[in-house]
Amino acid sequence: MPEKHKIIIDSDTAGDDAAALILAAKSDTVQILGVTVAAGNVSLEQAAKNSMAALELAGSDAPVYLGATAPLSGEEKECFSVYGKDGMGDADIIHPKGKPQTKGAVDFILDTVRDNPGEIEIMALGPVTNIALAIRKDRETMSKVKRIWSMGTAGFGPGNATPVAEFNVYKDAPAYRTMLELGVPVTVIGLDMDDAPTWTYEDKLAEMREGNDIQRFIEAATRKLLEFKKGNGIPAVDLPDAVAMGCLVWPNFVEETAQCYGSCITEPGETYGMVIFYKEGFTYDSMPKIGRCNVSVVSKAKKNEFVDRLNAAFRS
Ligand code: RIB
Ligand code: CA
C-alpha cells in the first residue's frame, strides 16, 4: 500500500467542495491534516460551517481553520450564488457541532509545511488567497510544499465566471498568479475536466434522495445548483471540486496530463482571470517552443466512471 498523501484542503465550501471533502474523508489514500477556508462561493463563516458539517457527516475530525475574507486586492468580484445563499442548497442541512480552530489558516499552512518539508500536498478548491498570503508571509517555507493540486482555470475549454475565466481564478487572479509563480509542482484540474460525462443527472439525484445520509446531504446541497443549471438547459449538477479530488485520491483516474506554462491574466478587462496554457514542445505559429513549465494540466481522465466512483465512496 503506497504511503498516504498528507493533504491540506483549501476550500470556499459550497456543495461541490463538500462532496470533495467527503470523498477525501472516505478515501484511504489520503490523510487530511486540516481544512483551511476562504470566502468565495459563500462568506468565510459559512464556508467554515459547511466544511465542518460535511466533515462531521463523513466521520472526519479534521480541524478547520479560518482564512481570507476577501481577495488580495480587497476588491470583491461579485458573482451569483449558484449554490444558494448558504452554498448548500438553502436546505437547512448545515448544523455542525464543531467550531473552527483559533489559529489562522495561513499560520496553519506554514506551520504544517515547516514541520513536514517536502511532504505536504495542498488541494485548492476555491480562490487561492490563503495560499498566496502564505507565500507572501514565508516564501521559503512554501517552497517546501510537495505539490499543489488546483481545481481552477478553464483548462483547455471555456470559462464559467466569464467566457474565458473560471470562478476560482476570477475571484482572485493575482493570488492565482502568485501561486503559479511559486515554483513548486502544480497540477491543474480545469473546468474542462468537469463536463457532461461527470455530471449527476436528475435520475441519479432522485436515486441519491433515497440513498444514505451522505447521498441525501449532497443531493440537498446541490438543489439550487440544479435550478441554476436547468436555467442553462442542463438537467444535471456538476461537482468540479469532487472531480479534482478524484484526480488525487484515485490513483488510476487521471489518464493524461499536459506540461504547460500557465500565464494568469491579472490586468483589468475582458480577459481578467483567464489562464493561458502554453504547451511544452509545441511550436505555435507565432512563437518558438516555450522553454519552461510551471503546471501539469490534467487533459484526460476516466470521466465516465466519476459519478459511480463518487457514490461508491459516499456509501462506503
Ligand atoms: O469554477 C468552479 C469552482 O468555483 C468550484 O471550486 C466551485 O466550488 C467554485 O468555487
Ligand atoms: Ca470551490
Q: How far apart are CA 104 and CA 174, in angstroms?
A: 21
Q: What is the number of the ligand closest to the CA of 82?
A: 1
pLDDT digits (tens, 9 = 90+) for 95-112: 999 999 999 999 999 999
Over residues 252-273, the pLDDT tens digits come to 999 999 999 999 999 999 999 9
- In Å, what is the CA distance from 172 to each residue of 25, 77, 127, 153? 27, 8, 6, 12
SS3 157: coil
CB 154 within 8 A of CB 196: no
- The whole-number pLDDT of residue 52 equals 98
Region class of 172: left (phi > 0), else alpha (psi between -120 and 50), else beta: beta
Q: How far is the centre of ligand 1, averaged over its atoms, from the C-alpha of 80 (Å)?
A: 12
Region 5-315: CATH code: 3.90.245.10
The best mutation among 9, 43, 125 to test binding of ligand 1, ranked by most ligand atoms within 8 Å of the C-beta, falls on 125
Short-list 153, 55, 67, 52, CA closest to 109: 67
Residue 278's DSSP bridge partners are 261
The pLDDT assigned to 298 comes to: 98
The residue count of the chain comes to 316
pLDDT number for residue 287: 82
CA of 1 to the centre of ligand 1 (A): 32
- Nearest atom, ligand 1, residue 241 CA: 6
Cell numbers at 58, concatenated: 463523513
pLDDT at residue 249, as a whole number: 98
**220-to-21, 72, 173, 208, 209 alpha-carbon distances in Å:** 16, 32, 31, 9, 8
* CA distance readout (Å), 149 to 11, 143, 260: 12, 15, 15
The predicted pLDDT at position 306 comes to 98
Strands (DSSP E) contained in 125-196 are 147-151, 186-189
The confidence score (pLDDT) of residue 2 equals 80
* Predicted pLDDT of residue 79: 73
The ligand placed nearest to the CA atom of residue 9 is 2
Tell me, what DSSP letter sits at residue 117?
Answer: T
279 CA to centre of ligand 2 in angstroms: 26
pLDDT given for residue 202 in this prediction: 97
Give the DSSP letter of residue 269.
S
- The residues of the chain scoring below 50 in pLDDT are none
Quick check: 127 and 254 in contact, CB under 8 A?
no
Distance CA 65, CA 299 (A): 32
Q: What is the predicted pLDDT for the residue at 81?
A: 78
In this structure, the residues whose C-beta lies within 6 A of any atom of ligand 1 are 12, 14, 16-17, 40-41, 125-126, 151, 160, 166-168, 191, 240-241
